[in-house]
Amino acid sequence: MGYLYILGTISFTVYGQLILKWKMDQVGELPDSFVEKFTTLLQLLLNPWIISGFLSAFLAALCWMAAMTKFDISYAYPFMSLSFVLVFILSAFLFQEPVSMQKVIGFSFIILGIIVMR
């Protein structure tokens, strides 16, 4: 069951990051004026998708709390690195973000590190 908590933490974290990126891409750059910037961000806080992204962060925290009852943090925390890998892969597909050899090598080291830590 502990691994399901870690999987939940990673899944909710990745979902939240991708949703926030998607919605912010739709907004574009924030206005220069402080008032307009504040108004834009306030409007975004009321967007149901943005709310779901924040809710997913909360659910990720709950899953993490549950995972901490099952594992030492030194064992569980390296698994959180998988969220970086998943966001990288999904952002390449969903947002057409560039994939470089340097990034692929970097996330390969992350995966290797998780394997070594186990």
- Closest-CA residue to 84 (of 110, 118, 64, 56): 110
pLDDT digits (tens, 9 = 90+) for 35-72: 999 999 999 999 999 999 999 999 999 999 999 999 99
Q: At residue 108, what is the residue type?
A: S
Number of domains within the chain:
1
What range defines the domain where residue 40 resides?
Answer: 2-117
Task: Pull the structure tokens for residue 9.
Answer: 């933490």
Query: Alpha-carbon distance 3 to 79, whole Å?
Result: 10
Residue-wise pLDDT tens digits, 87-115: 999 999 999 999 999 989 988 888 888 88
Residues 6+ apart with CB under 8 A from 30: 36, 37, 40, 41
